[in-house]
Structure 1
């Protein structure tokens, strides 16, 4: 635990933590299209913060603008193959893998499936949040999301009474892993980063939190209960076990 500080707050990512991961839908779509594993994820992230998905999360594009630009990025096969070969080299995988000569990825369909997946709550995580609230912890969501999404609002009745603060990239104009976004959440909760536990499913987001002094807990697909147990152990270690429902 960072610095042995007393924990006052727990901060949760939404997609892949409080609700099911959109990466499940991406993986299924890749299999349907005969694409290698993580091909779409690499295409999504290859432009860094200037990519359509990242700009949409910061509220810089409307839904229709996003879909048009993102679909073009997803189907830029030459650039995506180049990025995927670099991905293979970084992981010492088979760089001779046969990659697609052309793709026809439907950005609107893919995005709709991703958002549908995130409508399904992870019950064990929701139960933990309620336990934490009952025990007096300050609890926030810190999510990269979208303000203009006709497939359905991420912030619906599931979240109405779950968090003290629901901190959204599309509202703040910042997104993880920008450290300013984490500090914004801590300021709202009136805690130091070293007084917070942070849960996320993405490594770079967790590393950014760790660099700020937060206690980072990774949530892996299918292993949500293990992450919940880790949070309880962290709190028990400093005599702060949450009261069970």
Structure 2
């Protein structure tokens, strides 16, 4: 995660703002992962590396695209999280890329309960980030279109867990498990823009994950990174962007 909320992107009139859900509109599931790592004596970000090491073929990623059901996801994901040799090798690569201490002690075995970890991640997303919710309402009052672009799950295990509230906030909700695409696939972002009736250069996109933001920026979107505990900084960045470039700036 970056040290501060950042904004970027080309010029142009902003007509819409697109929000990630987990870690932006609601609290981050990474909080639950970090707590689980501490409890199990695992190095920081060890499970995040394990989650992403298989790329698009991983169980988590397949589940977000709606390709497997919850039961198969839990079985496959638990197996992946406990592949200690492969996960250790992936984590060594993570340390090398970041110039971190390669002498960090890695586990000799793991006993990660995938079902319990996933339940804790979903529980962490039950709490809204109030300042972001108020930002969405403010944007709509000012005349901006707003959408959710979320990697989520079928079988009732939604990443947000706040269905009625979220449904009331957005003009459009674009879900990975429904459309079979997930961030950072550019087609997913373009689908959100199509539903909003805008070009990518007319949008601001908020997310907590760097790769998702980079994909949006490549399409021409302005981007704002949301960090845990620094949500007000992201809100302020969005307000600066729409004040400077917004199509409805006169309404602010």
- Kept in 1, the 8 Å contact 2:46–2:91? The answer is yes
2:172 to 151, 162, 165: 165
- The gaps in structure 2 that reach 5 residues or longer are 1-7
- The Cα shift of 1:2 comes to 4.0
- The Cα shift of 1:94 comes to 1.1
Q: TM-score, normalised by structure 1?
A: 0.96
1:8 to 2, 5, 15: 15
Q: How do 1:62-211 and structure 2 match up within 5 A?
A: 62-150=69-157, 154=161, 156-211=163-218
- The Cα shift of 1:95 comes to 1.1
- Kept in 1, the 8 Å contact 2:22–2:160? The answer is no
Deviations 1:161-206 (A, max 9, x none): 1000010000010000000000000000000000000000000000
The whole-number CA distance in structure 2 between the counterparts of 1:243 and 1:141 is: 23
- Kept in 2, the 8 Å contact 1:131–1:242? The answer is no
- Kept in 1, the 8 Å contact 2:51–2:58? The answer is yes
Higher relative contact order (CA 8 A, sep 6+): 2
Q: Following TM superposition, where does structure 1 have runs of at least 4 consecutive aligned residues deviating by more than 6 angstroms?
A: none
1:30 aligns with 2:21: no
Counterpart residue number, 1:43: 50
* Secondary structure in 2 matching 1:217: strand
The whole-number CA distance in structure 2 between the counterparts of 1:127 and 1:243 is: 16
- Kept in 2, the 8 Å contact 1:232–1:242? The answer is no
- The Cα shift of 1:160 comes to 2.2
Counterpart residue number, 1:228: 235
- Kept in 2, the 8 Å contact 1:235–1:242? The answer is no
- Cα distance 1:151–1:170, how it changes in 2: closer, same or farther (>3 A)? closer
- The gaps in structure 1 that reach 5 residues or longer are none
Q: What root-mean-square deviation, in Å, do the aligned CA atoms of Structure 1 and Structure 2 show? A: 1.6
- Cα distance 1:209–1:151, how it changes in 2: closer, same or farther (>3 A)? closer
The whole-number CA distance in structure 2 between the counterparts of 1:67 and 1:242 is: 50
